[in-house]
Amino acid sequence: MTLLTEIEPTGALQKVAALDEVNTFVFDMDGTLLNDEHVISPQNLRALHGLRERGFNLVIATGRHVRDMQYHLQQLGGDIATITCNGANIHDRNGKLIYREGLPLLVNQTLLPLAAQFNVNLNMFTDSEWLTIAPCAAMLEAHDQTQFFYRQVDLQEMIATPALKILFYGENAELQKLKAQILKDHPLDINLTFSDDCYLEVMQQNISKGYALKILLEKLSLSVDKAMAFGDGLNDVELFRTVAHPVVMENAGTTLKQLFPDAQRAPKNHPDGVATFLFDYIL
């Protein structure tokens, strides 16, 4: 395996597109725009306000639920389009739903009972709620500021409920075994991705941040060739393949860095790597 070396700042500066080549900036949330305390730092807020003052288009692309985003959108001043649930929902800058793609109940019936065979926590995002089978305090920490919390239900209610995405939370080794079993024994039209080591997420086939961005930008008469995207997780792979200017956070895992060795690098999300990159090379 070849070890990738870090891109020096001068190299990054030479590679960053001229401002007239970028008109849209797309940001993942956890591990990217949010720091390790799950908040947008003052510096990141200042940087995004700076982009808006210069007339750039801003897009949030996250695995979080749109209800989970309302607090942060208010922080940022609103008027920002959102791609949520890894692309299952798209809302325009006025908050109007312009795209939705959920999972068929067959996926619920097939996959949800598997959680009991592994030591993982079973969750689901519906159009309006976060559902879980069992309480998990560790999952709530990332939502203290937004106050978007789960409602506990039994397995049968969850199986009967239409979902935007399914989330399995647990140790990576268990999730990897679960993923392998799903791929081996249950051929379904789904997209399986890790948003981080502890979250295995299930969406409808072809649903991704990248696919959703294409839909959104087409509606806005904007081009992916003039889009720059920041991210740190494997659920950002399709997004990075879609935009002309991907930026990988330094805290991203080895796999993502190896998939995009020529992408720009931003410093770690904590305390505010996005702002550092933007002030150094864009603003």
Count the Cβ atoms, other than its own, within 10 Å of residue 45.
18
Contact 200, 111 (CB under 8 A): no
Active-site annotation holder among 28, 232, 236, 272: 28
Name residue 246's beta-bridge partners.
Answer: 229
Residue 28 annotated to the active site: yes
The b/e string for 210-245 (b: 16+ C-beta within 10 A; e otherwise) is: bbbbbebbeeeebebebbbbbbbbbbbbbbbebbeb
Tokens 């080591």, residue located:
197
Q: Find, among 232, 211, 224, the residue nearest to 33 by Cα.
A: 232
Radius of gyration, alpha carbons of the chain: 18
Contact 211, 238 (CB under 8 A): yes
Contact 59, 216 (CB under 8 A): yes
Q: At what angle do helices 42-53 and 273-281 cross, to 10 degrees?
A: 40
Sign of CA dihedral 253, 256, 258, 260: negative
Residues marked active site are found at 28
